[in-house]
């Protein structure tokens, strides 16, 4: 899966920089542009391919909600997370009525930012990979509630939020075929028919459970490469 393309609308340079730095800590996102006003944002949004907008409400030439209304009136297919100091109940209500997927109040902590973006990424990946949507998906990813279920469905839900047993087993099965070999997340993703970012999430879960071991190889430049091996 390609990285989720993020556009930042924020007039405070310091907050804009924080948003960028926080995004750089999360896998699967890339900042494709930014704007400091509504009019600048309109021009750039029309030109860029964007998946997600991080939107402030208080802007020099109006309110971010007005930009959100403009986006909806133009039927632009993009999601929005509000990041603002506006605590007004009517602003929160209006943001969600016009399709915001989350609302963060400044000052916010990285943990809350990470939760918002991770939840969005999980939903984005699932929507990309699924052909049809069932009620369980809507309950988990849209309404963020648990449902009463039994058997395999319960086992899938208990695995972890945003992870499912079928994909988990698919990765385990492929790694069993390559037992004793160090594999990169990219190799595992390709062999399992998954996106690399998806495979990495499951591999991190398996590492937490002690089912795989991670070995790092350092090159001459850049970050080390992680290699994963299924434990005996």
Q: For residues 61 and 112, state if they share a domain.
A: yes
* Mean pLDDT to the nearest integer, 52-65: 96
| pLDDT tens for each residue of 180-194 | 899 999 999 988 888
Q: Total structural domains in the chain?
A: 2
- Report the range of poorest mean pLDDT among 22-31, 85-94, 124-133: 124-133
Helices and strands in the chain, H and E counts: 10, 9
* Mean pLDDT to the nearest integer, 79-99: 94
Q: For residues 16 and 122, state if they share a domain.
A: yes
Q: Given this model, what pLDDT does residue 125 score?
A: 77
* Mean pLDDT to the nearest integer, 208-223: 82
If you average pLDDT over every residue of the chain, what do you get? 85
Q: Which of 128, 147, 182 is the last residue of a domain?
A: 128
Q: Given this model, what pLDDT does residue 141 score?
A: 61
- The domain containing residue 168 runs over which residues? 160-230
Q: Which of 80, 111, 128 is the last residue of a domain?
A: 128
Residue 115: inside a domain: yes
Question: What whole-number distance in Å separates Cα of residue 12 and Cα of residue 58?
Answer: 10
Question: Quick check: helix, strand or coil at residue 21?
Answer: helix
Residue 134: inside a domain: no
Residue 204: inside a domain: yes
Residue 148: inside a domain: no
- Residue 21: pLDDT above 50? yes
Q: Which of 111, 128, 145 is the last residue of a domain?
A: 128
- Residue 89: pLDDT above 50? yes
- Higher-pLDDT residue of 154 and 188 is 188
Q: For residues 79 and 182, state if they share a domain.
A: no
Q: Given this model, what pLDDT does residue 148 score?
A: 46
Residues 6+ apart with CB under 8 A from 179: 230, 232
- Higher-pLDDT residue of 141 and 10 is 10
**Alpha carbon distances (Å) from 187 to 125, 184, 194, 224:** 19, 5, 10, 16
Q: Given this model, what pLDDT does residue 6 score?
A: 98
Residue 150: inside a domain: no
Residue 28: inside a domain: yes
Residue 140: inside a domain: no
Q: For residues 114 and 59, state if they share a domain.
A: yes
Question: What whole-number distance in Å separates Cα of residue 10 and Cα of residue 7?
Answer: 10
Residue 175: inside a domain: yes
Question: What whole-number distance in Å separates Cα of residue 50 and Cα of residue 73?
Answer: 17
Name the band, by pLDDT with cuts 50, 70 and 90, for residue 210.
confident
Q: For residues 109 and 26, state if they share a domain.
A: yes
- Residue 208: pLDDT above 60? yes
* Mean pLDDT to the nearest integer, 124-144: 68
- Residue 57: pLDDT above 90? yes
| pLDDT tens for each residue of 109-119 | 999 999 899 88
Buried b (16+ CB within 10 A) or exposed e, 184-215: bbebbbebbebbbbbbbbbbbbbeeeebbeee
């Amino acid at each position: 899966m390609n990285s989720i393309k993020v556009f930042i609308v924020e007039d405070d340079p310091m907050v804009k920089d924080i948003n960028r730095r926080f995004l750089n800590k999360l896998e699967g996102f890339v900042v494709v542009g930014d704007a400091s006003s509504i009019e600048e944002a309109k021009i750039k949004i029309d030109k860029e391919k964007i998946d997600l907008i991080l939107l402030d409400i208080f802007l020099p030439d109006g309110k971010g909600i007005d930009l959100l209304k403009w986006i909806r009136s133009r039927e632009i297919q993009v999601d929005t997370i509000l990041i603002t100091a506006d605590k007004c109940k009517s602003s929160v209500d209006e943001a969600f009525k016009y399709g915001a997927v989350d609302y963060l109040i400044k000052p916010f902590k990285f943990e809350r930012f990470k939760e918002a973006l991770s939840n969005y990424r999980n939903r984005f990946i699932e929507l990309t990979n699924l052909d049809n949507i069932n009620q369980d998906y809507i309950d988990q990813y849209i309404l963020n509630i648990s449902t009463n279920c039994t058997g395999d469905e319960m086992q899938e839900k208990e695995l972890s939020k945003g992870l499912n047993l079928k994909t988990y087993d698919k990765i385990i099965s492929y790694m069993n075929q390559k037992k004793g070999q160090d594999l990169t997340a990219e190799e595992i993703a390709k062999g399992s028919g998954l996106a690399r970012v998806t495979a990495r999430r499951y591999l991190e879960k398996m590492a937490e459970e002690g089912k795989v071991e991670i070995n790092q190889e350092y090159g001459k430049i850049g970050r080390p490469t992680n290699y994963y091996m299924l434990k005996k």
